[in-house]
Amino acid sequence: MEGFAWFTHKYIMHSFMWRWHQSHHVHHKHWWEKNDLFGILFGLASTALIVIGFELPAYGFVRWIGFGIALYGVAYFVFHDVIVHRRVKIKYTPKSKYMKRIMKAHYIHHKVHERDGAEAFGFLYAPRKYEDKTIRKPTAGNLG
């Protein structure tokens, strides 16, 4: 799923679907972003695949694809929306090198507020080049 998410983020969200994703790269104080429509879209796709997989035995394997999308969506929500962007208010300070690296990569991705020029398109994986002991903490309402 991470490879699919990376591809989708780089070549779809930062391309022809930028009108939706752009809302995630600008600072605002709303709880809703147009970018959240992607979560609804992926949720519908996941649900459809699960239902098809149960209803059509010949296509039973697609239910596991649907479950994979759903589980990735939960992991994405917890990491991206709760831990990184603090859309759900929690106290969390990353301690592991992995969490520091993935958060740093995501903050670097958000330094660019335009469609082009961004880097670090992964959500749950970041290359070691993003390792750094210091990361900036998000401020309240800072989703970008």
Give the Cα separation of 64 and 46 in Å (integer): 9
CA dihedral 80, 82, 85, 89 (to 10 degrees): 180
Model's pTM, two decimal places?
0.82
Residue type, 44: L
**Mean pLDDT score, 107-135:** 85
Write out pLDDT tens, residues 24-63.
Answer: 998 888 889 999 999 999 999 999 999 999 999 999 999 9
* pLDDT higher than 80, residue 114: yes
* pLDDT higher than 90, residue 141: no
Domain layout of the chain by residue ranges: 2-130
